[in-house]
């Protein structure tokens, strides 16, 4: 089928058949479709959308553009989670070992940060020696022996997605719900999962700022995943403030280790992590109910089994064998620290969360382009949450920077992102809704 005819049909508002979509994706993978044609197709989908059947066909075709992992030899269920991203969202680092320690297998294929959002893979790369993109043999060995592996997409998994995303990124078509859905799910389907839980963020630090948009994306992800044969559900969770009290790479890894060992846990982060763990355990058939899942996850944390699973995973993928016990020995540390001081007495009534993420990018801890190099050491810690009482002159946050000028610029950005008021605001829910397959 000629790619230009497929583009024309979608441009004119027609539904594409599964063979038409497969033909286009085959050309996308093999190079028979030009960059201009890829961009035209993405723009046609952006304006005209896709039916559920079209989105399922696109997802399956992109899955089949490369290898599909087979975990049928494992003695337990295979499950995973995907987050749409935000600021201080290091949930994956705790969630994978918690669920693995409860008896599941979690081959967690993660991404890098772009824009104001942090990337799980960049966080893991802050650990010296950690191989974040192993070959399939090492991935399989790690998952079998430790129960989990937090890694990046290999060249052989859903290669059509990499090309389509690169074009979307430069053609103003990133925000298309069916294209987002197919991008996320093609990689998860290629990972050979038995079940998947989606964490769709909503708020001023999320990709989707409005509740209706986040709910629409969550419904699309759940319906298309199930239509493609993958059991899936979703939680819509709040991102009107950083999820952890740390934002950056090494600083979020340290926050995760403190969480796993019980040295320190941010309350909202704990709520979201346990909720997602319970959802994954239920979905995998390892918990009878939500309450049972939360209980099992909490017991696994308290007993140290999740921390031990994380340590085994880090060591299996090339990191230090005593990393959990001595993270400060291995994680890079920025040379300059600067406290951001509250200008007046009061309560934190709001945080411009996206601006916190951009402050991290400004320090060198994030990307504005996919090929940018990042500084794993820089970031922001001790971020005061919404509702915290802050006396004048006390720290709202602590900036970790490479230079004094970088620290001062980031501190000014953080201060501008905080709103201080006389009254303590009502607490927002962390988990706003649960999305299950219809019918």
Beta partners for residue 110, in sequence order:
152
Query: What pLDDT shows up at residue 416?
Result: 98
Query: What pLDDT shows up at residue 421?
Result: 97
CB 56 within 8 A of CB 225: no
Three-state secondary structure string covering 267-301: HHHHHHHHHHHHHHHHHCCCCCCHHHHHHHHHHHH
Query: What pLDDT shows up at residue 322?
Result: 98
CA distances from 407 to 255, 334, 378 (A): 20, 10, 10
Residue 208 is classified by DSSP as: B
- For residue 216, which of 195, 198, 241, 228 has the smallest C-alpha distance? 198
CA angle 62, 186, 71 (to 5 degrees): 115
- Return the residue matching tokens 């060249």: 155
Rg for the chain, CA atoms, rounded: 21
- Return the residue matching tokens 């927002």: 428
Provide the annotated active-site residues.
80-83, 120, 168, 183, 187-188
Query: If residue 432 lies in a helix (H) or strand (E), which one and from where to where?
Result: strand 431-435
Q: Round to whole Å and give the CA distance between 228 and 187.
A: 12
Per-residue confidence of the chain (439 residues) as pLDDT tens digits? 899 999 999 999 999 999 999 999 999 999 999 999 999 999 999 999 999 999 999 999 999 999 999 999 999 999 999 999 899 999 999 999 999 999 999 999 887 776 788 789 999 999 999 999 999 899 999 999 999 999 987 778 899 998 998 888 788 888 899 999 999 999 999 999 999 999 999 999 998 999 999 999 999 999 999 999 999 999 999 999 999 999 999 999 999 999 999 999 999 999 999 999 999 999 999 999 999 999 999 999 999 999 999 999 999 999 999 999 999 999 999 999 999 999 999 999 999 999 999 999 999 998 877 677 899 999 999 999 999 999 999 999 999 999 999 999 999 999 999 999 999 999 999 999 999 988 6
**Beta-carbon contacts of residue 296 (< 8 Å; ≥ 6 apart):** 102, 278, 281, 286, 287
Query: What pLDDT shows up at residue 439?
Result: 61
Query: What pLDDT shows up at residue 169?
Result: 76
pTM listed for this prediction:
0.94
Q: Round to whole Å and give the CA distance between 385 and 16.
A: 47
Ordered by where they begin, the domains of the chain are: 3-63 (1.20.970.10), 79-327 (3.40.1030.10), 333-421 (3.90.1170.30)
């Amino acid at each position: 089928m000629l790619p230009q005819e497929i583009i024309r049909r979608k441009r004119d508002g027609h539904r594409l058949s599964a063979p038409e979509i497969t033909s286009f994706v085959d050309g996308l993978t093999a190079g028979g479709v030009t960059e201009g044609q890829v961009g035209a197709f993405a723009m046609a989908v952006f304006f005209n959308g896709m039916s559920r059947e079209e989105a399922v066909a696109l997802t399956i075709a992109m899955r089949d553009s490369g290898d599909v992992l087979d975990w049928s030899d494992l003695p337990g269920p295979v499950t995973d989670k995907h987050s749409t991203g935000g600021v201080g969202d290091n949930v994956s680092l705790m969630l994978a070992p918690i669920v693995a320690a409860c008896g599941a297998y979690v081959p967690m294929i993660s991404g890098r940060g772009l824009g104001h959002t942090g990337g799980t893979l960049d966080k893991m790369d802050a650990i010296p020696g950690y191989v974040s993109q192993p070959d399939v043999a090492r991935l399989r060995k790690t998952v079998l022996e430790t129960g989990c592996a937090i890694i990046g997409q290999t060249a052989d998994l859903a290669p059509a997605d990499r090309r389509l995303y690169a074009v979307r990124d430069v053609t103003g078509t990133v925000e298309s719900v069916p294209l987002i859905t197919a991008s996320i799910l093609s990689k998860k389907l290629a990972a050979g999962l038995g079940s998947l839980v989606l964490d769709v963020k909503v708020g001023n630090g999320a990709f989707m700022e409005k509740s209706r948009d986040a709910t629409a994306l969550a419904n699309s992800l759940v319906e298309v995943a199930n239509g493609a044969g993958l059991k899936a559900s979703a939680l819509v969770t709040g991102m009107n403030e950083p999820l952890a009290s740390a934002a950056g790479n090494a600083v979020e890894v340290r926050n995760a280790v403190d969480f796993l060992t019980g040295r320190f846990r941010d309350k909202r982060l704990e709520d979201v992590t346990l909720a997602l763990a319970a959802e994954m355990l239920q979905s995998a058939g390892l918990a009878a109910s939500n309450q049972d899942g939360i209980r099992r996850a909490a017991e696994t944390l308290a007993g140290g089994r999740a921390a031990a699973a994380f340590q085994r995973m880090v060591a299996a993928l090339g990191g230090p064998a005593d990393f959990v016990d001595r993270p400060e020995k291995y994680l890079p540390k920025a040379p300059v620290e600067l406290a951001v001081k509250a200008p007046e007495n009061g309560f934190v009534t709001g945080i411009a969360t996206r601006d916190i993420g951009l402050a991290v990018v400004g320090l060198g801890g994030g990307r504005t382009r996919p090929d940018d190099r990042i500084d794993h050491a820089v970031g922001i810690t001790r971020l005061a949450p919404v509702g915290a009482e802050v006396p004048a002159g006390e720290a709202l946050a602590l900036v970790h920077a490479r230079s004094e000028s970088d620290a001062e610029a980031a501190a000014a950005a953080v201060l501008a992102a905080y709103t201080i008021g006389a009254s303590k605001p009502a607490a927002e829910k962390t988990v706003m809704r649960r999305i299950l397959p219809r019918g």
